[in-house]
């Protein structure tokens, strides 16, 4: 049976590919974007199965109005995909206040407000599914991506909490965590003004790796999108879905290290309890 999807950030990258794939298989899509005309070719091809809405996720009022109109336009929206986002690239000290504020407003606050805006509608229709497109960077961290990581770690914590709050209404979540994937993400990075003192540090190393093309990107965008769709079609999907071998190994290594550190410091950790609770 055909489904109806609401997807943010559909101009390029995974959002665009996701929209294309869903329309090809006969689903209906409400696609949101900031740039007029980016989906005109899909509108011409798929007609009334595609509805395009223009807004910026940092404009909460406009977003809420658009979400309400989307739910009014269709009897039901089965899957909501929070995908809009980008990355600030550079050492934390290099970033301007404006870069920090925009990164948080788009990736974190924008995603939070988008999810908040759809929850009442999903409750009213008797349930639904929300896919939050995060990143392996929601569980691990690279130098020069500190602000991006702050938003991805933040949205993952938000989703994990909200998933527990709304489960009684038949609303569930998937957090998609792709590793480095061949999309336009790197081209759209908001780069800081590099400070020479970081040249011979891990920040400088990753800057050179990206500039030279030696930073390994194994993820295939089409396969990634297909797996997100496959998972969203499952009756009971996982809360977190790591995508790609880089994501698998980097997340696994990070979790293993955290467990090791937790156990190594068990005595110190438990000593923080009141005496009668120590074990």
State the pLDDT at residue 38.
87
The pLDDT of residue 132 is 98
Q: What is the pLDDT of residue 279?
A: 64
What's 4-86+96-185+217-272's CATH class? alpha beta
pLDDT for residue 278: 61
Burial status of residue 114 (CB atoms within 10 A of its CB: 0-12, 13-18, 19 or more): buried
Mean confidence (pLDDT) of the chain: 94
Reported as a pLDDT band with limits 50, 70 and 90, residue 277 is low
Strands (E) across 90-203 are located at 128-133, 171-178, 190-191
Mean pLDDT, rounded, for 241-257? 96
210 pLDDT band, cuts 50/70/90, is confident
pTM, two decimals, is 0.94
Looking at the annotation, which residues are catalytic? 134, 148, 152
Taking each helix axis as running N to C, give the angle between helix 110-125 and helix 146-166, from 0 to 180 degrees, rounded to the nearest 10.
20
């Amino acid at each position: 049976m055909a489904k109806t999807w609401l997807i943010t950030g559909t101009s390029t990258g995974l959002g665009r590919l996701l929209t294309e794939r869903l329309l090809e298989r006969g689903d209906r899509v409400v696609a949101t974007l900031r740039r007029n005309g980016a989906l005109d070719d899909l509108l011409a091809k798929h007609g009334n199965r595609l509805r395009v809405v223009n807004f910026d996720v940092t404009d909460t009022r406009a977003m809420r109005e658009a979400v309400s109109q989307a739910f009014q336009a269709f009897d039901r929206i089965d899957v909501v995909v929070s995908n809009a986002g980008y990355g600030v690239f550079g050492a934390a000290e290099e970033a301007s206040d404006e870069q920090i504020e925009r990164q948080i407003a788009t990736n974190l606050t924008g995603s939070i407000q988008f999810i908040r805006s759809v929850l009442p509608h999903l409750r009213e229709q008797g349930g639904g599914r929300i896919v939050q497109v995060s990143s392996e960077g929601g569980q691990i961290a690279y130098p020069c991506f500190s602000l991006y990581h702050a938003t991805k770690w933040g949205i993952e914590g938000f989703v994990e909490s909200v998933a527990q709050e709304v489960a009684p209404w038949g609303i569930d979540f998937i957090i998609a965590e792709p590793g480095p994937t061949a999309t336009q993400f790197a081209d759209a990075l908001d780069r800081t003004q590099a400070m020479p003192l970081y040249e011979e540090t891990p920040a400088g190393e990753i800057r050179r790796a990206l500039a030279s093309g030696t930073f390994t990107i194994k993820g295939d965008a089409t396969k990634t999108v297909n797996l997100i769709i496959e998972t969203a079609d499952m009756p009971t999907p996982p809360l977190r879905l790591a995508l790609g071998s880089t994501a698998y190994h980097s997340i696994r290594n990070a979790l293993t290290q955290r467990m090791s550190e937790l156990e190594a410091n068990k005595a110190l950790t438990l000593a923080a309890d009141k005496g009668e609770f120590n074990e």
